[in-house]
Amino acid sequence: MMKVLIMFIPLFLLTSCFKTAEEIKREQRIDQQMEQSSKIIADLNEQISILKMAISSTSGQLEEIDHKSKQTNNAKILTLSETVMQLKEQVKALTADNEQQKKLIQDLSEKIDQQSKFIKKVTGTLSKIGSEKKTSNKTLIKQAHTAFEANKQKKAKELYLETLQENKINNAQKNHVYYNLGLLNYWSRDYNDALVYFSKIYTKYPRSSFAPKALLYIARSFDKLKKTDEAKATYQEVIEKYPKSSQATKAKKEIK
The last residue of a domain, from among 169, 189, 223: 169
Number of domains observed in the structure of the chain: 2
Q: Is 239 among the domain residues?
A: yes
Query: Using CB atoms within 10 A of its CB, is residue 198 exposed (0-12), middle (13-18) or buried (19+)?
Result: buried
- The pLDDT of 86-109, averaged and rounded, is 73
Q: Is 229 among the domain residues?
A: yes
CATH code, domain carrying 179: 1.25.40.10
Q: Is 33 among the domain residues?
A: no
The last residue of a domain, from among 120, 146, 169: 169
Q: Three-state DSSP class for 151? A: coil
- The pLDDT of 36-54, averaged and rounded, is 79
Domain with 195, as residue range(s), is: 171-256
Nearest to 32 by CA among 43, 40, 22: 40
Asked if residue 152 and residue 111 are part of one domain, the reply reads yes
pLDDT in tens, 119-145: 666 655 555 544 444 446 678 999 999
pLDDT in tens, 150-178: 999 999 999 999 999 988 889 889 999 99
DSSP assignment, residue 68? Answer: H
Look at the alpha carbons of 204, 205, 207, 212 in this order and tell me if their dihedral is positive or negative.
negative
Would you say residue 83 has pLDDT above 50? yes
